[in-house]
Structures are given as C-alpha cells and as structure tokens.
Amino acid sequence: MAEPSPLLELRQISAHYDRIPALRSLDLTLDKGATGCLIGANGAGKTTALSTIAGTHALTSGEIHFAGERIDTLSADRRVSRGIALIPEGRGIFARLTVDENLRLGAYSRSDRGAIAADREHVFTLLPRLHDRLHQVAGTLSGGEQQMLAIGRALLSKPTLLLLDEPSMGLAPLIVERIYALIRTIAAEGIGILLVEQNAHLALEVADQAWVMESGRITLNGAAAELRKDPRVRSAYLGG
C-alpha cells in the first residue's frame, strides 16, 4: 500500500519571541485529508506553530512545505491563496462589520464569482444560523455564533488546510458539540485540519494524527487513537 501523501510538512522549524525560543526544531507531517491535533500545556508553543504555518509569525530557521511547495518564504496573504486558512484563538472576526461583510472578506483572495456564490450557499447549508443573522453586526452575536462565523469566513477562502486555534474556548458544552460536529463534517469533505485544543479529550476523539508539545518541542506523536491509550497522555492530559 502506498504511503499517504503529505499535505503539510514542518522541517526543523524554530521560532522566537524576541530572544525567547517558542519553537525548537519542530518536525511535523500532516497527511492529505487528515485531521491532526496539537495538545500540550499553555505556553507549549501550539499557537505559535499555527501562526508560523499561516505566516503571521516569522520562522527563525527551518522550512514549511505545503502541497509539495515550500511556503515559508511566502507572505500570509499568499498562503491564503495557496489554500491555508487560520481561525485564531478568540475567533478574529471583524466585530463592527455585519455577518455578510465578514463572509465577503473571507473570499477576498478569490475572483471566481460563480464559485464564491456556490460556496456561500454551501456555508449556509452547514451553518444556517449565519444566513439568519446575515445583516447583524458580528460583535453582537453569541460566542457560538461568532465561532461559526469565523469558520464560515475561513471556508470561503476555499482552503485545503484549516488551522483551528482553541475552537471550544469559552463556549457552552452544547455549542462545543455543534462546533465539533461541524469540524467532522468539514473533515469528511476532504479538507485537512490542524487543531489546537486545550480539551485533549475532544481533540483526540476528532483527530487522526496527534502531537504532544512541551516547551516548543514535540515529545510524543502518532495516531490519535494510540495516544489516547498512552499512559503518559492519559496522566497529563486526560485525567488519569
């Protein structure tokens, strides 16, 4: 059987904040069509890893390859055009703009109007609440609705890789269930996902691949189903 083709490869990447190392010679390979998760304590470097992939934080050294192309020399907007979409911690919506205006900004890098219109309709099929709130100011939405808007806006960039940073943060359990059902649906459509999530139970349930980060390094990695059984992961992140 042929080996899965990688969608994303991080090759010995390092990154700093001023002189403080945040990532230390990180290696990671996410397969095409797979969902991966990064778990670890606060300050482990998970958010920085997503930021370096998206191009919003600079590498100190190493290489990032996406769909067979080296991209660490590209600007963040060019990475969006290549198919990478980041939903940052805190959602990153434009609070003073309407839902419709936020969604239109999601497709700013595209010129295929007919396809954009079709993708909008698909987003409304996945997230009908957004259609109901189309002319509402985004900052007045509930936390769950804002997370849905952030996901819908990202989908309109036509990503092949979706980077999700703490999608369950601050949300009620029922809303978290809906968000994770949506993540599973997106993954089933063939979009690769790399997820950062404090709730390791959720992350490891939805993921195919997983990496444990500590102090900017990956200390464990493998199939998510196997890491769920690992006594070190169970003790540190799953409550025993």
Whole-structure pTM value: 0.94
The closest of 135, 138, 134 to 97, measured between CA atoms, is 138
- Mapped onto helix, strand or coil, the DSSP state of residue 238 is coil
Q: How many CB atoms lie within 10 A of CB 96?
A: 9
Alpha helices in 75-194 (DSSP H): 76-82, 99-106, 113-126, 128-132, 143-155, 173-188
pLDDT in tens, the chain (240 residues): 556 679 999 999 999 999 999 999 999 999 999 999 999 999 999 999 999 999 999 999 999 999 999 999 999 999 999 999 999 998 889 999 999 999 999 999 899 999 999 999 999 999 999 999 999 999 999 999 999 999 999 999 999 999 999 999 989 999 999 999 999 999 999 999 999 998 899 999 999 999 999 999 999 999 999 999 999 999 988 876
Q: Report how far residue 195's alpha carbon sits from residue 182's, in angstroms, rounded to the nearest whole number.
A: 13
For 7, phi then psi, to 5°, come to -90, -40
Domains of the chain by residue range: 1-83+159-167+194-235
Q: In what order do the strands lie in the sheet with 6-17?
A: 20-31, 6-17, 61-66, 69-70
CATH number belonging to domain 1-83+159-167+194-235:
3.40.50.300
The closest of 6, 4, 8 to 64, measured between CA atoms, is 8
